[in-house]
Structure 1
Amino acid sequence: MALHKLFVEDFDEDSFLLLAIHCTLEDYRVAYLLNKQLKINLKRKPHNLDYKYTSASYSIYEWENTNQQVTWNLVSNICRKEEDSLSSSGGLFNGKEKIIRTHNLIPEYKKVNYLLKINNENYQISEKKIIDDIQDIQQIATVYSIDANELKSKDNLIFN
């Protein structure tokens, strides 16, 4: 009887490019500047990317280039939420205090403001050209590539 082996690592390879973007602009402004510079058409998705376990919500933009079968996603990496703070019951004042808590989509990169994920199953994309084009935008401080295989929170990048 013949023995057949199936290697799972052949199917586990990532077929997307992940870029980290540092800037202080609002998400809609970053999407506009990327659309203009890269000649793409990112549009806000009707619902934010929500994670119930952290009660965090991240804005997400998407563009599907059907000609080249490439999907572009721009997602915020930082979510700031106002929450009730824990306070002792024996205090002088019984007022509830609010604190602002920060959550990250990719906790390994806390300083990154936005992530640009480009799914390129069948189409070869020039990573260097995209990074150079994004760095030409004056409002963006820096952009660089992230190796998704080294991320512990890689599952957070599954948007569909």
Structure 2
Amino acid sequence: MAIHKLVLDDVFDEVSYTLIAIHCSIDDYRLAYLLNKHLGINLHRKSIDVDVSLDQSNYSVFEWKDRKQLTTWNLVANACKTEVYQKNTGKSLFDLQEKITRISYLVPEHKAVNYFLKIDNEFSSNKEKYILQSILNIPKVATAFSVDINNLKSKENLIF
């Protein structure tokens, strides 16, 4: 009897999405509205945020599923601000707790990036350039660029 062995090592390593980094100073809901307007998409806020259990931070996510092209678009925030109470370690008369704002990043390699637009479909370079140019035409966006996913160390945080 012959033994058949299936090797699936290379199947899961393939990149099947495009990642665009967006640097701007506006709120997430306003950026989602402007992306909807300029790109002709329909991003909506998901009811559940991306939760990274290592540092208990939540990142807002907007999603749109394009049924015609079988593509899922996600706009996700890169930074999360959480307030933590730290006990005062100094010797004082009063035992005070100090409130500290801690900033954690979904993709720590790109701390200057405010948002990521993840498109779960590989586009041709012309389509990707068109999307980038449309994002750069938004008045409040400082810059936008494509990110090479193969060079990211924290790409597992982008699985949602």
Scaled by the length of structure 1, the TM-score of the pair is 0.91
Hey, what's the Cα distance between the residues in 1 that align with 2:138 and 2:157?
27
**1:20: which partner in 2?**
21
- For residues 63-110 of structure 1, the C-alpha deviation after alignment (integer angstroms, 9 at most, x for no partner) is 000110000000000001111124215224321110100000001011
**1:101: which partner in 2?**
102
Give the Å deviation of 1:50: 1.2
| Coordinate RMSD, CA, aligned | 1.9
1:1-160 paired onto structure 2 within 5 Å: 6=7, 8-88=9-89, 90-120=91-121, 124=124, 126-159=127-160
Hey, what's the Cα distance between the residues in 2 that align with 1:73 and 1:110?
19
Moved over 6 A (4+): 1-5
Hey, what's the Cα distance between the residues in 2 that align with 1:82 and 1:27?
20
Corresponding pairs, count: 158
Hey, what's the Cα distance between the residues in 2 that align with 1:31 and 1:5?
43
Gaps of 5+ in 2: none
- For residues 22-69 of structure 1, the C-alpha deviation after alignment (integer angstroms, 9 at most, x for no partner) is 001000000000000000000000111112221101000000001100
Q: 1:88 to 1:2 in 2, by over 3 A?
A: closer
Hey, what's the Cα distance between the residues in 1 that align with 2:60 and 2:12?
29
The aligned amino acid for 1:65 is D
SS in structure 1 at match of 2:144: strand
Scaled by the length of structure 2, the TM-score of the pair is 0.91
SS in structure 2 at match of 1:37: helix
Hey, what's the Cα distance between the residues in 2 that align with 1:4 and 1:49?
37
